[in-house]
Structures are given as C-alpha cells and as structure tokens.
C-alpha cells in the first residue's frame, strides 16, 4: 500500500527515520514521502494545522492510502487526523503490531498480538462509539450508554480470556524451561531487531531455523543445543521505545530470558558509534525492564565483515561467515 511517514524532528532523528522506513518496508508499505515537523508537539494533531493541510493536499493528489506517524499517537489524535486526512492513520505502535502479525506463526504469538491490539484500541473504541451514538441519537442517554458499555464489556471479556490462555502458555513455557534447566544451562541470545540473532543461533548449534533480513522475524523463542547440557535460545528483538503494552503482551516469552544462566547481548558492528552505543543502551535498559539485569552477560559484536572497529570488552564474530565462532563457543562454556 502506498503510504507517507510523518515525524517530529526530535532527538535521534536520522536513526529513527531509517528505523521507521525499515519497519514500513517490512510491513509491506511503499513509502512515497516523509513529512517532518520541526516545531514542538501539538495536542490535537501532534503536528501543526499547516502541516496537516500540507499532508492532506499531498494525500489527495497522490492517492496515498495510509499515513504512518513515527511518534506515538493517542486515540483522540488518531480520530482527529483521520477526520482531516480522510485516510487511515497509524503510528509506530500499530506498525510494529502489523509487522508482528506478518510473522506470527504460532497460536500463542497471534494471541499476544490480539491482546496488544485490544488494549491499544480500547480507548479509541470508547471514544468513537460514544461519539457515534451521540451523532446518531441526539437524545443519547441510558439506552445509548448500554450499547457503548456492552461493546466495552465484550472487549474486556475477550482481554480476560486471552490473558487466561496466555497464562496457560506461560506456565507451559516455564515448565519447559525448568525441564531444560534440569538437563543443563540456558543461554539467551538477545539484541536489537535484525542484528542476526537467528543466524548466530544456527551457526553455533548447526540447526537451520528460518533467517530473514527483516525486522521482528522471531516472535516465539527458538531453542537448540550447543552441546551436552547447554541450550541456546533465540528471542524476540528489541527496538527503540518498545511500548510497555508490547512488553506486557510478550511477558511469557520475555520471562524465559530472565530465567537464563547467561545472556548474549548481540550488537551490530556495522552501526556507527553513536547508533551502536544507543542500541547497546536500549538492550540493557530492556533487560532491566524485564528484571533480567542480574543474569550474567556477554557482549557479542556481530557482522564484523561489514563493520567498524569498536573498542571495549566484546567478542567479535561474523555469524554469516563463521568467523571466530569457535572462540565464542569457548567463551560461552567458560562463563557457565
């Protein structure tokens, strides 16, 4: 679908621009143009009225079918923008969910995505249903409120049902993890999305898990044996400003990281120094968010075939070309 991307020119602008373009491409959207707002955020549209008119004129002339905001929007902003622009409007949160949906293979992953969507859309449904009832029924009162509340009640029921099902998956996951720990040590591979975690898992263990040069191809943890009594686990990728609701939805998956014996934090040698350090910080902060900060870690510098020399305590490898993989194996064993 032909789309445009709208951004505020804030910190990390260039890195955010590259990232949202990659997300859009992975989601299957053809980006026609970027619109950038230099001024401070506005309450109604996030961007100014003049920028909204500029976007509307382009959308109308170009036939653009979707407007993507890199910044997060609240429900009222989405509704206001859709009224003005006459096309659907999504933000980075929705875009991530769309990419997740594209890669969701298991029932558990699909339920996690549905849960995140329901929690995300609940305020939107409350506002839009109420406004529609008032527009359709000027004498809106007890009867109209019953319809609105019935809709909201059904959404809450669905949320509770999904949470209950995911809790069962979570218990099963914990039991599987416990059985693995009884048989040996667990090493979690974490890192920024598209850093090459699955490629690293494959080259270390000799398995052939699917690899794709796209964001968020791993939604459900993949486990393979490194050797006798050592299991490597590939996990969901991290990203800048990962919304809390997404962390909540994938809690069972992320819980496995917290119960590891060792964490490999995989970093991209091809990033420039500023972006490299920023992604490293994002990974470490995400581990803190999921209470995995006390687990021992090793920092693995991947893609050295593409990259720059980075000073620090890193194990430098190329998963693609098997460079220094044996050294990494020895380091893993020595740290368990």
Question: Are the CB atoms for 147 and 133 separated by under 8 Å?
Answer: yes
Residue 178 lies in a domain: no
Q: Are residues 110 and 149 in the same domain?
A: yes
Beta strand 230-234 pairing with 222-227:
antiparallel
Q: How far apart are CA 10 and CA 40, in angstroms?
A: 9
Sheet (strand 185-191) strand order: 222-227, 230-234, 185-191, 262-268, 297-302, 315-316
Q: Are residues 213 and 295 in the same domain?
A: yes
Q: How far apart are CA 91 and CA 5, in angstroms?
A: 9
Q: Specify the pLDDT at position 141.
A: 45
Query: Going by C-beta distance under 8 Å and a sequence separation of 6 or more, which residues neighbour residue 329?
Result: 204, 226, 227
Residue 157 lies in a domain: yes
Q: Are residues 53 and 90 in the same domain?
A: yes
Question: Are the CB atoms for 269 and 302 separated by under 8 Å?
Answer: yes
CATH number at residue 19: 3.40.50.11060
Q: Specify the pLDDT at position 309.
A: 66
Q: Specify the pLDDT at position 142.
A: 44
Compute CA 136 distance to the chain's CA centroid, rounded to the nearest angstrom: 38
Residue 26 lies in a domain: yes
Q: Are residues 90 and 33 in the same domain?
A: yes
Q: With the C-alpha atoms ordered 10, 14, 17, 18, is the resulting torsion angle positive or negative?
A: negative
Q: Report the Cα–Cα distance between both ends of the chain, in Å, rounded.
A: 48
Residue 176 lies in a domain: no
Neighbours of 187 (CB within 10 A): 25
Q: Specify the pLDDT at position 264.
A: 96
Judged by DSSP in three states, 213 sits in: coil
Q: Are residues 130 and 260 in the same domain?
A: no
Backbone angles phi, psi at 25, to 5 degrees: -65, -45
CATH number at residue 282: 3.40.50.300
Q: What is the pTM of this model?
A: 0.78
Q: Are residues 111 and 159 in the same domain?
A: yes
Q: Per-residue confidence of the chain (336 residues) as pLDDT tens digits?
A: 899 999 999 888 888 998 899 899 988 999 999 999 987 888 899 999 999 999 999 999 999 999 999 999 998 999 999 999 999 999 998 998 888 888 777 788 888 888 888 888 888 887 776 555 455 444 444 444 555 567 788 889 999 999 999 888 878 877 877 787 788 899 999 999 889 998 999 999 988 876 666 666 666 678 888 888 899 998 888 888 777 667 766 776 677 788 899 999 999 999 988 889 999 998 998 888 888 889 999 999 999 998 776 778 899 999 999 999 999 999 999 998
Domain that holds residue 263: 184-334
Beta strand 30-37 pairing with 297-302:
unpaired
The number of distinct structural domains making up the chain is 3
Q: Specify the pLDDT at position 220.
A: 67
Q: Specify the pLDDT at position 128.
A: 72
In the numeric block, which tokens belong to residue 318?
Answer: 């190329």
Question: Are the CB atoms for 274 and 281 separated by under 8 Å?
Answer: no
Q: Specify the pLDDT at position 147.
A: 54
Q: Specify the pLDDT at position 138.
A: 44
Q: Are residues 218 and 276 in the same domain?
A: yes
Neighbours of 121 (CB within 10 A): 15
């Amino acid at each position: 679908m032909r789309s445009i991307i709208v951004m505020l020119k804030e910190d990390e602008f260039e890195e955010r621009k590259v990232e949202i373009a990659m997300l859009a491409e992975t989601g299957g959207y053809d980006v026609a143009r970027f619109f950038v707002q230099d001024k401070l955020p506005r309450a109604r549209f996030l961007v100014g009225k003049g920028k909204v008119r500029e976007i509307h004129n382009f959308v109308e002339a170009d036939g653009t079918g979707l407007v993507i905001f890199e910044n997060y929007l609240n429900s009222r902003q989405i509704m206001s923008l859709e009224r003005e622009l006459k096309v659907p409007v999504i933000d980075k949160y929705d875009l991530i969910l769309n990419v997740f949906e594209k890669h969701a293979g298991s029932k558990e992953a699909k339920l996690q995505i549905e849960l995140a969507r329901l929690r995300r859309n609940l305020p939107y449904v409350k506002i839009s249903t109420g406004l529609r009832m008032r527009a359709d029924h000027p004498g809106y009162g007890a009867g109209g409120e019953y319809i609105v509340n019935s809709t909201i009640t059904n959404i809450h029921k669905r949320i509770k049902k999904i949470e209950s099902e995911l809790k069962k998956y979570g218990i099963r996951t914990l039991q599987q993890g416990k059985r693995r720990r009884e048989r040996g040590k667990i090493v979690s591979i974490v890192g920024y999305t598209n850093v090459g975690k699955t490629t690293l898992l494959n080259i270390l263990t000799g398995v052939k898990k699917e690899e794709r040069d796209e964001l968020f191809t791993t939604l459900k943890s993949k486990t393979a044996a490194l050797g006798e009594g050592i299991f490597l686990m590939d996990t969901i990728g991290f990203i800048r400003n990962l919304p809390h609701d997404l962390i909540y939805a994938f809690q069972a998956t992320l819980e496995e990281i917290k119960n590891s014996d060792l964490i490999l934090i995989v970093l991209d040698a091809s990033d420039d120094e500023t972006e490299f350090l920023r992604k490293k910080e994002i990974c470490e902060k995400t581990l803190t968010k999921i209470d995995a900060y006390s687990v021992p870690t090793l920092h693995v510098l991947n893609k050295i075939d593409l990259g720059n020399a980075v000073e620090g305590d890193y194990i430098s490898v190329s998963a693609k070309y098997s460079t220094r993989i044996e050294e990494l194996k020895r380091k893993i064993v020595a740290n368990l």
